[in-house]
Amino acid sequence: MADSDEQDKLAAEWGLDVEEGADSGSGDGAGDDAMAAEWAAMIDGDGDSEDSDGVDRVLDQDEIDNLLGFDPAAVDGVELTGVQALINSALVSYERLPMLEIVFDRLVRLATTSLRNFTSDNVEVSLDSITSVRFGDYLNSIPLPAILSVIKAEEWDNFGLLTIDSGLIYSMIDVLLGGRRGSGVIRIEGRPYTTIELELSRRLIEVILEDTQKAFEPLTQVTFSLERLETNPRFAAISRPANAAILIELRIDMDDRGGKVEILLPYATIEPIREQLLQMFMGEKFGRDATWESHLATELYAADTEIEAILNEMEMPLSRVMNFSEGETIMFEQKPDDLITLRCGGVDVTKAVMGHIGKNISVRVSRPLYPPQVTMAVFEAMEEQGETA
């Protein structure tokens, strides 16, 4: 009973405290309301000055997006602004090199045929993406285990990377060594690759490099050679971590098996053919076309050309020309052994000596042809003027 009396007294004390706290709380609430009204009055009175200074103004979502350079409705190809422009300033978009997509589309077609012959199986090659990355970020993103092959472009005197993931390696080995179809997902082991696996992977890489070389042939002559195979990304560093590079991801599917092949080309590697990669040709044929070159040369050699032999030229007043009469003799300051001018289309071509062969008058060319006055620089200047206009 004593305990219950003490509990009742304690509850009464708590109840009293609660009531007092409620009363004080109501008083505090009234004070808060008065203070809020006072602040509202101060804000209303000084609103014009604060808006003019813009110190206490809160940015809305559109202004924040503009500041950060983020636009959810923006499409590819729109120039970045704000923080995103600073972040991406070191990278160059591959879309500025439109010929790259054409080259690697050609690689997809060539690799599909070559890998079907290599594996004697139904192989489908597809181009997943072409992106710009930093070299250091790419090395850190490679899922291990994987085989990294350092390739060298002989004519460009620089290097690139070709990476094959473990899923494709085990699938290719399973196909080449007669594995059963429909085996499901192949379990990837964390062990080092054996000698047989490395040699079969080397043959696969050589096939892909040969097709890559053929894909670049219409654009330029380049030879890709395999320098070495690495399994540790730190040993495959061919560029500075901050340097920009082009990453091409290829997907190779063999029925229910397959994997990815990634080709990394630093921008320093493709710099020698930058002018060719900036071209905008559409279609299968691009760059030089030997068929049209030979056809144009044949037509030019077969074209008829009219050449005029100018004995001499002189100027005289029109009044004298109007008074010409039959039998009048005009004297030229020309000797029989002086050179005459050969002219074609109003352009002086060369000098020649006049003579005769039998009953026919002939000329013998005595000097090399004059170099043409119209060069490719003239056409380039005309194109630049047309673009500026």
Mean pLDDT of the chain: 75
pLDDT of residue 101: 84
**What DSSP character marks residue 162?**
E
pLDDT tens across 274-312, in order?
A: 877 777 654 444 455 677 788 888 888 888 888 888 888
pLDDT tens across 42-55, in order?
A: 555 554 544 444 45
Find all residues with CB under 8 Å of 46, minimum gap 6, and list them. Answer: none
pLDDT tens across 159-192, in order?
A: 999 988 888 888 888 888 876 665 555 555 667 7
* 369 alpha carbon, distance to own chain's centre: 44
190, burial (CB in 10 Å: exposed 0-12, middle 13-18, buried 19+): exposed
The pTM of this model reads: 0.51
Instruction: Give the separation between CA 97 and CA 216, rounded to whole angstroms.
Output: 14
Whether residue 329 is predicted with pLDDT greater than 70 in this model: the reply is yes
pLDDT of residue 331: 80
Instruction: Give the separation between CA 285 and CA 282, rounded to whole angstroms.
Output: 8
pLDDT tens across 117-149, in order?
A: 888 888 888 888 888 888 888 888 888 778 888
pLDDT of residue 50: 45
pLDDT of residue 42: 55
Overall average pLDDT of the 241-269 stretch: 86
Backbone angles phi, psi at 210, to 5 degrees: -65, -40
Domain residue extents for the chain: 94-277, 306-312+333-389
More confident position, 383 or 338: 338
Q: How confident is the model at residue 228 (pLDDT cuts 50, 70, 90)?
A: confident
Overall average pLDDT of the 220-228 stretch: 87
Least confident of 20-34, 340-354, 372-386: 20-34
Q: Which CATH class is domain 94-277?
A: alpha beta
pLDDT of residue 2: 55
Cα of first residue to Cα of last residue in the chain, in angstroms, is 106
> What percentage of residues in the chain have a pLDDT greater than 90?
0
pLDDT of residue 186: 57
Contact 246, 132 (CB under 8 A): yes
Instruction: Give the separation between CA 110 and CA 125, rounded to whole angstroms.
Output: 9
Find all residues with CB under 8 Å of 51, minimum gap 6, and list them. Answer: 57
